Structure 1
Amino acid sequence: MSLLLAVSSGVATASAQASGAEAPQPSGFASSADVQAQLREMLAAMKPDQGFMWRPLVRDGANVAAIEIWKKPGRPAVHPAQAEYAIVLEGTGTLVSGGALADTQVKNANLTEGSRIEGGATRPLGPGDVILVPAGVPHWFGITGERLVLLGIKLPAGK
């Protein structure tokens, strides 16, 4: 992941240098060692029966890239105004996305949960896989091993 962040920063720097403008300073950076250290800290802090933990890794104001550790599946969800982008860092699981969310409950403006997804597509997940769930699309993560670890980012719809 640090390579992705470094490459992104390098592209912005190269573009700024080519145009003669001063390169913007990155607001956050996490090396591979930083990612691994945070993951170890999170795993040590999780209670034995805890199924999910989320902790920001880097941020730019309201935009956050966070490590998500899933040990148990959550409820199927929809984020009406946010796309969800994620990279599988470790572990294995299943993504169900699309279709229709059944028995919906609005939790807040950014989250609607349901009991199941009807008619969604199922895909296996493993390290290195990249996920982009558009805003308003139902999705659910299943865990097929000990845990599924994601680097997750929510993006405003249409951006």
Structure 2
Amino acid sequence: MVALWTGAASVAAAQQGAAEPIPATDVKAAAIQAILQEQIASARPVVDTPIRTVDAGGHNVGAGLVYRLSPVQGGSASHDKVTEVYYMMEGAGTLVTGGSLVDPNRRESAAATVTGINGPGVSGSRIQGGVSRRIAKGDVVIIPAGTPHWWSEVEAPSMTYLVVRVDPARVVALK
């Protein structure tokens, strides 16, 4: 009987100490399309818009939308702590990963791209070496933290991709 009460007390204590599950976060298609229309209207060659960044229990996860015009503009990058997953929604381009950044420059820690998009890291003008591959609608690419990456070509007229950012160090602010 004592063992039964001890076991029941242990289960009750464990249940009381259990953390509440973190609720799921939805990003609806209508919100993504509204952001895309704003990006297109901006007429900027590269627009990276964070949609949501949430606490996923021990790490942050963010979703953003990137719109790039042809011809390619923007340089290479490597993020110290954030892994990126790209899902190509429209268009195509050539993505180079690995190798080394040319003209590397550490991003300022207070820069909006560091605090609100992809965390600390290094930017460059392009990549030397590395692996080139064509990425088209429906393709997914996982770019681990610390891996240099660069779009060497954006096929006309533009491309749009959803980016999921996994941030185990929680360096990007919640949104």
Give TM-score, length-normalised by structure 2: 0.67
For the aligned residue pairs, the C-alpha RMSD in angstroms reads: 2.3
Alignment identity in percent? Answer: 31
Does residue 147 of the first structure (1) align with residue 145 of the second (2)? no
How many Å separate the matches in 2 of 1:74 and 1:143?
11
Give the Å deviation of 1:54.
1.9
Q: Please identify the structure whose Cα radius of gyration is greater.
A: 2
**Maintained 8 Å contact 1:77/1:101:** yes
Does residue 130 of the first structure (1) align with residue 131 of the second (2)? no
How many Å separate the matches in 2 of 1:24 and 1:136?
28
What corresponds to 1:82 in structure 2?
A: 82
Aligned residues: 134
Give the Å deviation of 1:23.
6.2
**Maintained 8 Å contact 1:135/1:157:** no
Counterpart selection for 2:27 from 24, 27, 30? 30
Counterpart selection for 1:64 from 62, 65, 68? 62
- SS at structure 1 position matched to 2:30: helix
How many Å separate the matches in 2 of 1:30 and 1:81?
24
Give the Å deviation of 1:25.
2.4
- Structure 1, unaligned stretches of length 5 or more? 1-20
**Are residues 29 and 102 of structure 1, via their aligned partners in 2, closer, same or farther at CA, if it must alter by over 3 Å?**
same
Q: Which moved more, 1:73-82 or 1:109-118?
A: 109-118
How many Å separate the matches in 2 of 1:106 and 1:51?
22
Counterpart selection for 1:53 from 23, 47, 54? 47
Q: Which has the higher contact order (CA 8 A, sep 6+)?
A: 2
Give TM-score, length-normalised by structure 1: 0.73
**Maintained 8 Å contact 2:77/2:148:** yes
Aligned amino acid, residue 38 of structure 1: I
What corresponds to 2:16 in structure 1?
A: none
